[in-house]
Amino acid sequence: METQKIKKQLKSGARFYLNRKIKENETFIELPRDITKHATSALRLKEGAFLNLFDEDGKEYLSILVAARDGKMKAEILQFLNSKTESQLKISLTQSILSNEKMNLVVQKVTELGVAEINIFKAERSSIKIDMDQLEKRKHHWHKVAIAACEQSGRTQIPKIKTYLSLASFLEHQLQENTKQTKLILSPNGSTYLKDIKVKPVDLNITIGPEGGFSETELAVAKSNDLIEIQLGPRTLRAETAGISMSAIAQALWGDF
């Protein structure tokens, strides 16, 4: 295919995540029902339209839409694309659970900003009453939100989403396994500012509390696990604003912006 035509199609915006690995020798791929419906009904793509597919390994391919004899849609793989949209800074956002709408917003926006992992936990002052089974069900929904954000933003890696019933549970399972991670916790009473961090982090965890803030117990546990208490300034951010803002600032300071 001509180079100019390829470059034009790369900007078409029609991108879909295939929840499996695309093999090197595959030429035609039968598209799952959800992708077919979105491509043909929502985006009004016709046979012969170009689209990009990226798989669970983060590999992206330029493809063309083909109608099969049985009425199903297939994608003909045309070319591997060396997409480079993932940040060199690994950001893990540890976010206290919020209402459905606010949580969807956080997952969507931090995915667009390049966050690699989203850890959702129930804080002591969280207004949401939820158990582990309910968290697992919501995780499936948040995964779909992250996929849609990756498709829109050009990313090829879906953020990992994990759930915990408390901040202490998260700290026990996650942070102790990664001693090289720079660990921050946002607090209005923090004595450290981002400008005070002199060593450029390559693996960063940002922990955000609920609407009512962290309890003294949670802050004590966080400090005992070497989390640095950070404040952004004199204004108190809403819980859904804080994680998005911190992710954007981290990318601007140490990432790929």
Same domain for 56 and 107: no
pTM of the predicted protein model: 0.91
Q: By residue range, what is the domain housing residue 224?
A: 90-254
Per residue in 87-135, pLDDT (tens digit) is: 999 999 999 999 999 999 999 999 999 999 999 999 999 999 899 899 9
CATH classification of the domain holding 153: 3.40.1280.10
Per residue in 8-17, pLDDT (tens digit) is: 555 556 999 9
Cα–chain center distance at 24: 26
Structural domain count, the chain: 2
Q: Tell me the backbone φ, ψ of residue 149, rounded to 5 degrees.
A: -70, -35
Length of the chain: 257
Scanning the structure block, which residue is given the tokens 């809403």?
238
**Last residue of some domain: 61, 81, 101?**
81
Mean pLDDT score of the chain: 91
The pLDDT value given to residue 178: 63
Same domain for 38 and 9: yes
Helices assigned H by DSSP within 113-184: 132-153, 167-173
The pLDDT value given to residue 149: 98
Same domain for 133 and 20: no
Helix-strand-coil split of the chain, %, nearest 5 = 35, 25, 40
